Amino acid sequence: MNLQGILAIYRYEMARTKRTVLQSVVSPVVSTSLYFVVFGSAIGSRIQEIDGVPYGAFIVPGLLMLTLMMQSLSNASFAIYFPKFIGTIFEMLSAPVSFYEIVIGYVGAAATKSLILGAIILLTAWCFVPLRIEYPVVMLLFLVLTAVTFSLFGFLIGIWADNFEKLQVIPLLVVTPMVFLGGSFYSIDMLPEFWQTVSLFNPVLYLISGFRWSFYGIADVNVWISLGAIALFLGLCLLATWWIFKTGYRIKK
């Protein structure tokens, strides 16, 4: 394995974050803080508790997941799309770096950025609401798996997109609605039975539910099913990445 090649890509992408710190770090933290203020104050004054958890604390895992998913997607998709856009990707493909080493470098950097941002937001949440983490190891497992999986998914989006508009289509029109309808701000037990069944077809529900279980020991679905769902999604992303580099889809053609 070419560790120097991986580290070169990784360090370059991490250095890019320093040049765009307002966009990469400050903006997501401020946006998430506004969610705490608006939802925690406005809705929290009407819904005191859900399953024994104060409403302000209940929404923290969902907000963390929302930020983690969106930042992982945007960081990874832009990172691989920009070299395609300016044509430098061909220099990378001709370098002594294998396809999987390129993926490790880009996805690793995007996941690292998302995890750092997630840690900052978690610390910020402690300033607004009383938090407890009952299963910290499980929480870290969900954080890492989600960051890596959605960074890999964003990498796929960056390869698929042939203009800047397409970079935003899936995150804004698909992922964001799924997060909001996936139990981020409520428990699906509060829904009518029909909509509870519909919600079970939303894959994001399983991620948020499992992540919330690691905080408070409550979940809409079994935590093992949640882990299985994220593992399945990660496997599908890995398979799609392998196919793309094998066929050269949107890279060599």
Q: Does residue 128 sit within a domain? A: yes
> For residue 159, how many C-alpha atoms fall within 13 Å in the half-sphere facing its CB?
23
252 within some domain: no
Q: Report pLDDT for 253.
A: 54
The pTM is what? 0.89
- Are the beta carbons of 116 and 68 closer than 8 angstroms? no
Please report, in tens digits, the pLDDT of each residue of the chain (253 residues total): 778 888 888 998 888 777 766 666 777 777 777 777 776 666 656 677 788 888 888 888 988 898 889 889 988 998 888 888 887 777 777 777 888 888 899 999 999 989 988 888 888 888 878 888 999 999 999 999 999 999 999 999 999 988 888 888 888 888 888 988 888 888 888 888 888 888 889 999 999 999 999 999 999 999 999 999 999 999 999 999 889 888 877 776 5
> Alpha helices of 87-162 — where are they, by DSSP H?
89-94, 99-126, 136-160
Which pLDDT score is estimated for 109? 92
Q: Are 66 and 212 in contact (CB under 8 A)?
A: no
Q: How far apart are CA 233 and CA 237, in angstroms?
A: 6
Supply the pLDDT for residue 40: 63
Residue 174 burial (CB < 10 Å; 0-12/13-18/19+)?
exposed
Residue 133 lies in a domain: yes
In a domain, 60, yes or no: yes
Judge whether 140 lies within some domain.
Answer: yes
A 10 A CB-CB count for 168 gives 14
**Residue 253 placed within a domain:** no
In this predicted structure, what is the pLDDT of residue 108? 94
Angle in degrees, 0-180, between the axes of helices 60-86 and 136-160, rounded to the nearest 10? 30
Q: Total domain count for the chain?
A: 1
Structure-token match 């307002």, residue found? 22
| One-letter amino acid of 197 | T
Residue 24 lies in a domain: yes
Rounded-to-integer distance, Cα 170 and Cα 176, Å: 9
Rounded to the nearest 10 degrees, how much is the dihedral formed by the CA atoms of 234, 35, 200, 177? -80
Residue 141 lies in a domain: yes
- What is the span of the domain harbouring residue 37? 3-247
